[in-house]
Structure 1
Amino acid sequence: MGKAKYWSIVYLMVPIFGVGLFVAAPALRMWLPADVSEHGHTIDHLFVFIMYLTGAVFVATECALVWYLWKYDSKSNPAPTKFTHGSHSLEVVWTILPAATLLFIAIYQINAWADQKLVRRAPVESVGPDGVRGTADDVPKAPIAEVTGRQFEWRIRYPGPDGVLHTRDDLLDVNDLHIPVDEELVLVIKSEDVLHSFFLPNFRVKQDVVPGMKQKVWFKAVKGSEGRSYDLVCAELCGWGHYKMKGRVTVDTQSDYRAWLEKLSFEQHKTSEPPPATAEEQ
């Protein structure tokens, strides 16, 4: 066996191993984290679809490489090969095909992207007088909390009894976000120092947090997720302590959520000092 044929067999092991790992991953629990959000299945569908698409291209490319190594090894083809500049037609084909594929993916995923990124798709308290959701006269849903990323923690501010953020009765916590189950909710996220990325793997929510900007994310925890805690991490390298910038998200029933807020309020206000005033209050 020639050297080229030996390497062709080695290269063939790569797609075989990759496909085998893909097939075995769900059974080995090496797959996606459990989805506990209402929109998560659409994100997972896109993820799997793109993986199938790119996986097919990967396997086809590896098989073509193996075939060329096997067919055109030096022992079977002792005569020197003459190389030319290339094929203009072939270059056009391999430019158009990837571009068309990317355009197809962009169009295919646009509704899923819009549902999570366009403000007019965000939850609302009530539809405006025109009766059409997604217009300027809608009453937006009030955020249940504001999450501020800073090196290297997540600071969380809940509205107090008045239901308004940045007033004197706000409730403060660090790295411990509680949300009610089966309710469309909105979070305001921002950064105090550097670029962070607010990432909730189990809720399929990820948003870069840019200093000087306030952004919103929205999602809904499905029934069955209550009583459990899930990861809240930073997915953007933000300094030496990036690895430990981790919090938790606890999904509560409506009654447990109210009880937890009351407990937090009691613990915070049992001293005589209220939460510090913020820039919005001053």
Structure 2
Amino acid sequence: MRHFAALAAGILALPALASCSAEVSRGFLPGARDTTNNTQLITDLWVNSWIAALVVGVITWGLMIWVIVAYRRRKNTVGFPPQLSYNLPLEVFYLAIPLIVIGVLFVFTDREQRAIDARYPNPDVVIDVFGKQWSWDFNYVKEQVHEDAGQQAHLNGSYGAPDRLPTLYLPVGKTVELHLQSRDVQHSFWVVDFLQKRDLYPGHEQYNPYISITPNRTGEYMGKCAELCGEYHSEMLFKVRVVTEQEYDSHIADLKAKGNTGNLGADYDRVPQSAPAPQPAEATE
């Protein structure tokens, strides 16, 4: 039993010993805790959920090993141990504890999700994000300018290199609302280091098609489609550049000087609205 106690103590000590690592402290998630205003909420929910799962797991494994060791069949034992049809206190315990654990996890998840999904009443930057097979279009709504129409990455190298990925510019420290829409089939907008992604459903606005964030760190971040959307889904890539306010204003001015005024609208939809099916001609004698 001393060996069992030492093993259990070692397992319980692992999280404390590993917490010295920055990677472990953020649950091996990419990026930093303060990349956006939401990444810390998401990281804490993720890490604390794993801690709760580990605690429940250690207790469960410990009880299982204890029963196996303490109540194992001894040598020269004859017959069967006393048989019990039920144990009401134990069964109530087995029912109550999982309900409490699930309830606590639900409350914290719901609280953080509501905070993450809350829209800004008057965001500094509003951007229309259009997913399409197999690229992205970005309209800066308040500035009435747009990035060049997105092109497929072509990762195999036979049609070009992925150096002209569609790039979305965001000013650091400013509130941003992304309005996500699809030009054809279902896609999913995912900036890996932001720890957020959201599906784009073509023609549906009944769910929440917005991401509201405040970028806190300048830098370049990779984005991709996270929903299998066709043959070249893996090449539906983009970049996000979080820059200073001066660099953002300069980029907007460059787009205006380049002639990228207005919005990229329905003309760029890959799958236009289908016309009514023709009626079959009447049979003639």
Q: TM-score range by the shorter chain?
A: 0.5 to 0.7
Distance of 1:195 and 1:78 partners within structure 2: 64
Q: Displacement of 1:184 after TM fit?
A: 0.7
Find out whether 1:212 has 2:203 as its counterpart: yes
Find out whether 1:124 has 2:121 as its counterpart: yes
The two structures have a TM-score, normalised by structure 2, of 0.67
- Residue in structure 2 matched with residue 163 of structure 1 by the alignment: 143
Q: Could you tell me which of 245, 252, 257 is aligned with 1:261? A: 252
Find out whether 1:181 has 2:178 as its counterpart: no
- Residue in structure 2 matched with residue 138 of structure 1 by the alignment: none
Alignment RMSD (CA, Å):
3.7
> Is the contact between residue 139 and residue 264 of structure 2 (CA under 8 Å) also seen in structure 1?
no
Find out whether 1:234 has 2:225 as its counterpart: yes
3-state SS of paired residue (1:144) = strand
- Residue in structure 1 matched with residue 62 of structure 2 by the alignment: 63
Larger radius of gyration: 2
Distance of 1:112 and 1:277 partners within structure 2: 34
- Structure 1 runs not aligned, ≥5 long: 126-140
3-state SS of paired residue (1:172) = coil
Of structures 1 and 2, the one scoring higher in RCO (CA 8 A, sep 6+) is 2
Q: Could you tell me which of 153, 161, 166 is aligned with 2:135? A: 153
Q: Could you tell me which of 29, 33, 43 is aligned with 1:32? A: 29
> Is the contact between residue 158 and residue 172 of structure 1 (CA under 8 Å) also seen in structure 2?
no
> Is the contact between residue 171 and residue 275 of structure 1 (CA under 8 Å) also seen in structure 2?
no
Distance of 1:260 and 1:78 partners within structure 2: 83
**Alpha carbons of structure 1 residues 195 and 62: separation in structure 2 relative to 1, 3 Å:** farther
Distance of 1:240 and 1:25 partners within structure 2: 42
Give the residue type in structure 1 aligned to 2:127: A
**Alpha carbons of structure 1 residues 16 and 153: separation in structure 2 relative to 1, 3 Å:** farther
Distance of 2:186 and 2:56 partners within structure 1: 34
Find out whether 1:97 has 2:97 as its counterpart: yes
**Alpha carbons of structure 1 residues 44 and 185: separation in structure 2 relative to 1, 3 Å:** same
Describe the superposition over 1:26-76 as per-residue Cα deviations: whole angstroms up to 9, x where unpaired: 627462331311232222222222221111001111222222332344555
- Residue in structure 2 matched with residue 112 of structure 1 by the alignment: 112
Higher mean Cα deviation, 58-67 or 198-207?
198-207
The two structures have a TM-score, normalised by structure 1, of 0.68
Distance of 1:196 and 1:147 partners within structure 2: 11
Q: Displacement of 1:81 after TM fit?
A: 4.7
> Is the contact between residue 130 and residue 137 of structure 2 (CA under 8 Å) also seen in structure 1?
yes
- Structure 2 runs not aligned, ≥5 long: 151-165, 269-285
Describe the superposition over 1:1-20 as per-residue Cα deviations: whole angstroms up to 9, x where unpaired: xxxx9xx98xx79x967974
